[in-house]
């Protein structure tokens, strides 16, 4: 990955998008009412320009967020909704061409109708992608259960697949069942558009998470680090690291060896993980013993044995780094856990890049679904605001369509 992380000092802001949206809405309203609805082509062009600007700004904001801090909810949002904005832009360009060719057929009402149906249209366009993702999740979950046994947590991928497919099936069936008076059809369209808006939001989040996880897992930090934090994740009954934890340690050792070979700079290891109620030793102590057995000098290992979750991993490890004189840090975890670990790092004001240890192919998808659920829970307020605003916009457009 060639893009550099943490090279920008200011977080991207999208306040100009709100101003552009207000200006576009005002321009279309003036054209509609002042022109008595007879200027659909100009209105369509105005909206084309706005969605072109919106798509460009979301892409630029995503790139800027990656360089400022890729481990952010904003990275997910910008990536997911940039794709949706692009689909709306393409749809409106097609509509503009049709209006230019048949001005007597397509009026301003069609513009509002297309906007109100944009979430539904996106669900239809993305249905093949959703089907592929759902099948892949089910296949990986069946293999996971076959290898690891049945547990409720091992069917998260199947549950998500069922929800995604059910949403698409509901849309394809319910969307074509409107009948009755105009008010009844309007209520039907309101329900469909609100459902599509909610589905759209979570679909964009899923796409954004896939993008963000692939981005951070493929990224290889510069070989100029002073510390590597190894995040704990449970031990065997005999106190030795599980294969998952051993993979994180091995990844950290491999990074340290490559850095020393590439730049000549030696790195200090921080083993981070406390002692669980069912564990005989701390995860930190177990990792240290494993590293000593693999030839890592003891004076290059700092133990952090008080943390009980990822946020504490980062907070207490950061304190160890400061106590040791400070420096650049990288953290080692399992590939599916890199993105959320980076978010935890940002929460404690630590700019640290992540490296991911590989895991079995059938384990990663289900674990990623679990990480996705944790990300949603961790940002409830921000998501509630965006989801409410998105829903309100589609309600307003639907009512305007039937005014």
Report the 3 state secondary structure along 303-337: EECCCCCHHHHHHHHHHHHHHCCCCCEEEEEEHHH
- pLDDT in the model for residue 211: 94
Do 45 and 147 have their domain in common? yes
**Same domain for 141 and 20?**
yes
Give pLDDT, residue 350. Answer: 94
Domain count, the chain: 2
The verdict on 170 and 46 lying in the same domain is yes
Q: Fill in the DSSP letter of residue 355.
A: E
- 285 with 393, same domain? no
Element (H, E) at 297: none
Please compute the mean of the pLDDT values over residues 113-142 and round it to a whole number.
92
210 and 289 inside one domain: no
Asked whether residue 264 is domain-assigned, the answer is yes
The pLDDT of residue 150 is: 87
- Which of 283, 303, 327 represents a domain boundary (last residue)? 327
Q: How many Cα atoms sit within 13 Å of 181 on the Cβ side?
A: 2
Q: What is the DSSP letter of 4?
A: P
pLDDT at 366: 85
Within this chain, do residues 52 and 100 fall inside the same structural domain, yes or no?
yes
* 356 belongs to a structural domain: no
pLDDT for the residue 58: 97
pLDDT category, 35, cuts 50, 70, 90? low
Rounded-to-integer distance, Cα 348 and Cα 367, Å: 24
Neighbouring residues of 147: CB distance < 8 A, sequence distance ≥ 6: 360, 362
> Quick one: average pLDDT of 170-192?
82
Do 196 and 289 sit in the same domain of this protein? no
Domain-embedded: residue 164? yes
Complete edge-to-edge strand list for the sheet that includes strand 329-334: 301-304, 268-272, 227-231, 329-334, 352-357
Kindly state the tokens that stand for 315: 């907070």
Range of the domain at 153: 15-219+379-401
What number is the average pLDDT over the span 128-146? 92
From residue 256, give the alpha-carbon distance in Å to each of 16, 270, 295.
43, 12, 12
Residue 2 forms part of a structural domain:
no
The CATH number assigned to the domain holding 280 equals 3.40.50.620
Instruction: Report residue 108's pLDDT band, with 50, 70 and 90 as the boundaries.
Output: confident
* Percent of the chain whose pLDDT exceeds 90: 70
32 and 173: one domain? yes
Task: Specify whether 39 is located in the same domain as 143.
Answer: yes
Instruction: Assign 177 a pLDDT band (cuts: 50, 70, 90).
Output: low
Residue 172: predicted pLDDT:
85
**1 falls within a domain:** no
Mean pLDDT of the chain: 91
Alpha helices in 219-337 (DSSP H): 243-263, 283-293, 310-323
pLDDT at residue number 38: 64
In a domain, 9, yes or no: no
Are 178 and 278 members of one domain? Answer: no
**Does pLDDT of 3 surpass 80?**
no
Would you say residue 180 lies in a domain? yes
Where a domain ends, among 297, 327, 357? Answer: 327
The reported pTM is 0.90
Q: Is pLDDT of 1 > 60?
A: no
- Residue 186 is encoded by which pair of tokens? 């309007």
For residue 347, the model assigns a pLDDT of: 92
Residues 204 and 303 grouped into a single domain: no
Cα 387 from chain centroid? 15
State how beta strands 352-357 and 329-334 pair. parallel
**Domain presence at residue 335:** no
Comparing 28-32, 111-115, 211-215, which segment has the lowest mean pLDDT?
28-32
Looking at the structure, tell me whether residues 212 and 105 fall in a common domain.
yes
């Amino acid at each position: 990955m060639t893009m550099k992380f943490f090279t920008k000092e200011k977080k991207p802001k999208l306040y100009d998008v709100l101003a552009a949206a207000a200006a576009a809405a005002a321009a279309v309203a003036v054209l509609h009412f002042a022109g008595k609805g007879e200027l659909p082509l100009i209105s369509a062009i105005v909206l084309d320009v706005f969605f072109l600007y919106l798509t460009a700004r979301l892409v630029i904001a995503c790139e800027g967020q990656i360089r400022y801090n890729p481990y952010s909810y904003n990275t997910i949002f910008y990536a997911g909704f940039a794709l949706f904005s692009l689909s709306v832009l393409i749809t409106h360009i097609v509509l503009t061409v049709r209006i230019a060719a048949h001005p007597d057929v397509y009026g301003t009402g069609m513009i509002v109708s297309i906007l109100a149906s944009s979430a539904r249209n996106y669900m239809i366009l993305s249905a093949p992608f959703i089907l592929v993702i759902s099948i892949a999740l089910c296949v990986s979950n069946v293999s996971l259960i076959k290898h690891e046994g049945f547990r409720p947590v091992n069917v998260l991928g199947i549950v998500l697949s069922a929800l995604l497919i059910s949403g698409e099936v509901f849309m394809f069936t319910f969307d074509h069942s409107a009948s009755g008076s105009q008010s009844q059809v309007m209520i039907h369209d309101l329900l469909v558009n609100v459902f599509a808006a909610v589905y759209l939001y979570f679909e964009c989040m899923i796409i954004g998470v896939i993008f963000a996880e692939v981005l951070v897992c493929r990224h290889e930090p510069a070989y100029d680090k002073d510390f590597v934090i190894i995040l704990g994740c449970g031990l065997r009954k005999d106190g030795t690291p599980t294969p998952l934890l051993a993979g994180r340690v091995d990844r950290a050792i491999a990074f340290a060896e490559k850095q020393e070979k590439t730049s000549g700079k030696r790195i200090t290891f921080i083993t981070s993980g406390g002692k669980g109620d069912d564990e005989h030793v701390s995860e930190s102590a177990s990792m240290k013993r494993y590293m000593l057995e693999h030839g890592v000098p003891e004076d290059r290992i700092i133990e952090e044995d008080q943390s009980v979750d990822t946020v504490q991993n980062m907070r207490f490890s950061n304190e160890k780094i400061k106590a040791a004189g400070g420096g650049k840090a990288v953290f080692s975890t399992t590939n599916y856990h890199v993105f959320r670990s980076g978010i935890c790092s940002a929460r404690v004001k630590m700019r640290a890049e992540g490296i991911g240890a590989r895991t079995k192919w059938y384990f990663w998808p289900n674990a990623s679904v679990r990480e996705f659920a944790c990300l949603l829970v961790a940002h409830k307020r921000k998501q509630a605001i965006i989801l409410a605003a998105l829903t309100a916009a589609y309600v307003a457009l639907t009512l305007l369509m039937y005014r």
